[in-house]
Structure 1
Amino acid sequence: MSVHDDLTTVQRCLDDLSRSVGRLEQQLGSGGLEMRRVRADADHLRESVALLRETASGPTAPPVPQKQQLLTIPDTPYDDSLWIDTDDEGLGARDRHAP
């Protein structure tokens, strides 16, 4: 059985469930906490199957990740002017002594 057939079967079952919940609401009333939870759960199932159907109708193969380009980092030293306003990590500022 294909995924489409399985989803169609599940959708039919959810339709039956929805009709049955509707009949129960008529008999028991829709104001009770239990009945509201059953209705909410049935609606949630319907939404989940709709999302699953959208996902299943999309591409079947996962997307192939694109090859990332490698960055070449030069071996030449950095320009010292880039580091004028920084502190040596863990050593404090250049013009002050540690306490």
Structure 2
Amino acid sequence: MKYVLLGIAAFALYVSNPSIQDFNFYIREQVSSRLQMDDDLANALASEFVTAAAIESTYRKDYIIASKFIIDTAGLRLFMPNIPMKVEVLGIGGQFIPLTDLP
């Protein structure tokens, strides 16, 4: 019985493993919420720029029931020097868990 439950749990995690498109939506939401500028147009442009740069430098390691998304922030460090060189995010069960602390 415990193997059946384990199989069901593994299948549920496999089905809900986030894709790169899910991660792109997550990044867009995170960048929009973290960038706070006085001008709405400047905020939108900066948000789109940072999101596009992050998406282009992201790669995914698929572990079947979970995925690890790694963003190489070398290009973004020109504009935001206080972020780490790599940002890692774990995607499991349809959720995203940051593994790297961001300022």
TM-score of the pair, normalised by structure 2 = 0.27
Structure with the largest fraction of strand:
2
Which protein has the larger Cα radius of gyration, Structure 1 or Structure 2?
Answer: 1
Higher helix share: 1
Normalised TM-score (structure 1): 0.28
